[in-house]
A = this chain, B = another copy of it.
C-alpha cells in the first residue's frame, strides 16, 4: 500500500502532548513518523554527553501505536557548543568569512572536525537503534552542494584538482587560464569560489566554475557515503535515503543517490497557480526528475501540508482539494510513501509560520479532512504500491549542464530547465509517461530520447545517441547543444551543433539571443507559434525543415528540422517556443511511432500511468483552478479544480 506518514518533532513539544499526538496520527491511518533530523542538541546537549532516553521513549510510543519510525541523522544542525569550540566546523560564505550561527545547514560537510562529531552521533544512533525496527534512515536534511569557502575546502578542492589534472600545465590548458593572465603557477593560487560582491560569477573563468561546482557536488556525495558507511556498519540491511530539495546550489543527484536505497524529495508544489498558463510549470516535472535519481519509485519525506511561510511571507491558504490533489500527483509519478510536513505547525523557531497539517490550535481542519480522505482512497487500492511507471520516452539530464549554464546566461531569462520543462509538460498533457534519466544511463529500451540543451558535450554520449537513432530510435536535440567540451570550453572549428551536426543533418550559420522578446515561427506542418529566448538559423543538409522563422532578417530560415538517420529520426529544435509548440512536435513524434497518446486533454490537465504486469492505473490530474471536462479512454471525464481521478484497467474510477 502507498504509505502515508507525517513529520514530527517530539523534542519540540511538551511530553504531555506526545501520546495524544501519536494516537491521533494512528487514528488517521498514518503509518510512518519521521523524527530526529534536527535533534542533535537534545541528543548531545554538551560535548560527549549523550541523552537518548527521550528518543527511545518517542520511538517506543510510535511503535506502540502501530506505526514505524523514519529516523533522521541530526547532522544538518550541530549544537552551538560545536561552533563555539570548533569554529572550523562552520561554513564560510562567498566573501570568505565564517557564516553566522542561528540558521541551519551551516556546517561544512568537508570539515574533519565536523566529520568526527557527526560520525560519532550517527554511529551511536545506528548502534542503539539497530534492532528497533526503524523503517528507514534519512541522512541529514535537504542536502545542497557544499558551497563553502573555508581553508579546508580550498585545500580539498586543490587536492581534487591535482587528482584530476596531475599537473598545473594540464589544468591551465583545460581551463584556458591564459585568458586574462590567469595561469596558475602554484596550486595554492587556487581558491574556493569567492567574490567581493554578489552575483559576479560571470566574471570568473567558466572552466574553473564548472570544476568548482563539480567539486562542491562531489563533497556532498562523499558526505552521503560517509554517513551511509557508518549506518550500514551497524545495520547492514538499513534502508537509507535523504530528502532532496531544489535550492540554488544543486548537488549531482545521480551521484549523490548512488549509495542510497531510495530517492526522496521534499515536495512543495506551488500554492498559487499563476493566471497566465504559460508562466505555470507543473510540479510533475520535479516528481519525474526525482524518480529518475534511482530510476524507480521514490518517497516524499516532506509533502505539502499547509501554507508555506518563514523564508518569505506566508502564502495563501491551500485551495480546497489541493492537499489531496498534490499528494495524489506525487503518487501518480511514482511516490510510494508520502510523509506530510508536518504534524503540527511549530510554535517556536524560525519556521513557526510554515504550516503543518494542524494549525497552532491543534484542531482538526479542512486539511486534516483532506488527508483522511486521501488515506481512505489509498486504502481502496492497496496494490497500487506494486506498480510503477513504464516509459517509452526518456529525457537526459546531466548536472554539468546545470552547473555550466547557470553561470553563463545564454540570454535573459533562459535557464537549463526551460526546455526540459517544456518537453516534459507536453508529455504530461498527452498522457505519455516520461523518465528523466542521467545522461550516462542506458536508454536502449526507450523509443524516444529527448536531449534538451546539451550545452556541455561529451563524445561518448553523442556516439550512443547516434547508435540509438541509427537503430531506429527517435532523438530530439535542441539549441545550445554541442556548444562546449567537457572542460566547459567552447568547441571550435566546427559549426554548431558540432558533435550533433551529423545526426541532426543540419548546421547553424547564425544565432540570435533574443532574450525576453517574442517572435514567431510557422510550422510547415501547420500552425504559427510564439518563440522567445534563442534563435538558431539552420542550414539543412540531410534534414528537412519543419518550421521557419517569420520575423526580422532571418524570416524564412528554418528553425526546426527533422532528419532520417539510419533507421531512426533526429529532430533539431533551434528556438524556444510556447507550450503548444512542444505539444505539437511530440504529438507528431508519438503518432509516427504509433504510441498511445490522449490527444484531447485540456490545458493544465496531465496524465500518467502506473502499472504492473497484471494491473494498470491511469491518473488524470487537473492542475488548474477551473473545472475541466474531456473524453479520454472512451469516457467523458469531468474534473473539479485540483482533482485527481484514477482509472483502473477494468474501467473503475478511484
Residues of A within 8 A of B (CB): 9, 11-12, 38-42, 45-46, 74, 77-81, 83-84, 93, 95-97, 99-104, 175-186, 188-189, 191, 193-198, 200, 202-208, 307, 309-317, 319-320, 344-353, 359-363, 365-366, 408-414, 483, 489-496, 509-515, 517, 552-553
Contacts and interface: CB of A to CB of B under 8 A. Distances in A.
Contact of A411 (B208, B314, B346): B314
Q: Which of A200, A314, A350 has the most CB of B within 10 A?
A: A350
A179 B361 contact: no
A320 B552 CA distance: 10
Given A189-B81, A316-B513, A182 B347 contact: no
From DSSP, what is the main secondary structure of chain A's interface residues? Answer: loop
Nearest to A195: B100
B182 A102 contact: yes
Given A344-B492, A345-B490, A361-B492, 12 more contacts: A38-B180, A41-B185, A77-B182, A81-B185, A103-B203, A104-B180, A206-B350, A313-B414, A347-B489, A348-B490, A352-B490, A363-B495
14 contacts: A9-B179, A39-B178, A74-B181, A79-B185, A80-B184, A80-B189, A81-B189, A84-B189, A102-B205, A202-B312, A310-B408, A315-B513, A352-B408, A353-B410
Q: Which of A40, A320, A409 has the most CB of B within 10 A?
A: A409
A133 to B, nearest CB: 26
B513 A307 contact: yes
B351 A100 contact: no
Contacts of A346: 176, 179, 490
Q: Which of A196, A200, A206 has the most CB of B within 10 A?
A: A196
B513 A185 contact: no
A274 to B, nearest CB: 12
Nearest to A348: B176
A529 to B, nearest CB: 19
Q: Please tell me how many copies of the chain the complex holds.
A: 3
B182 A41 contact: yes
A175 to B, nearest CB: 7
A174 to B, nearest CB: 9
Contact of A99 (B79, B83, B196, B206): B196
B80 A310 contact: no
A73 to B, nearest CB: 12
Contacts of A365: 509-510
A593 B440 CA distance: 77
B553 A348 contact: no
B513 A309 contact: yes
Contact of A205 (B350, B412, B511, B515): B350
A296 to B, nearest CB: 32
Nearest to A46: B185
A553 B42 CA distance: 42
Given A203-B350, A491-B360, A513-B316, A84 B188 contact: yes
A494 B363 CA distance: 8
Given A84-B188, A489-B347, A312 B100 contact: no
Nearest to A310: B202
A179 B414 contact: no
A40 B181 contact: yes
B84 A347 contact: no
Contacts of A38: 179-181
B362 A493 contact: yes
B350 A179 contact: yes
Nearest to A208: B102
Given A180-B77, A191-B101, A553 B316 contact: no
Nearest to A367: B510
A409 B181 contact: no
Nearest to A494: B361
A412 B96 CA distance: 33
Contacts of A104: 180, 203
Contacts of A178: 11-12, 39, 41-42, 348-349
A189 B409 CA distance: 42
A510 B359 CA distance: 9
Those 8 A-B pairs whose CB atoms lie nearest each other, nearest first: A176-B348, A179-B349, A314-B513, A77-B181, A41-B181, A313-B409, A317-B512, A80-B189
A207 to B, nearest CB: 6
A317 B182 contact: no
Contacts of A512: 316-317
A12 B179 contact: yes
Contact of A179 (B207, B313, B348): B348
B509 A363 contact: yes
Contacts of A349: 176-180, 182, 205-207
A176 B12 contact: yes
Contacts of A45: 183, 185
B410 A176 contact: no
A45 B514 CA distance: 41
Given A41-B178, A410-B313, A204 B102 contact: yes
A177 to B, nearest CB: 8
Given A180-B349, A361-B492, A101 B515 contact: no
B309 A347 contact: no
Contacts of A352: 206, 408, 489-490
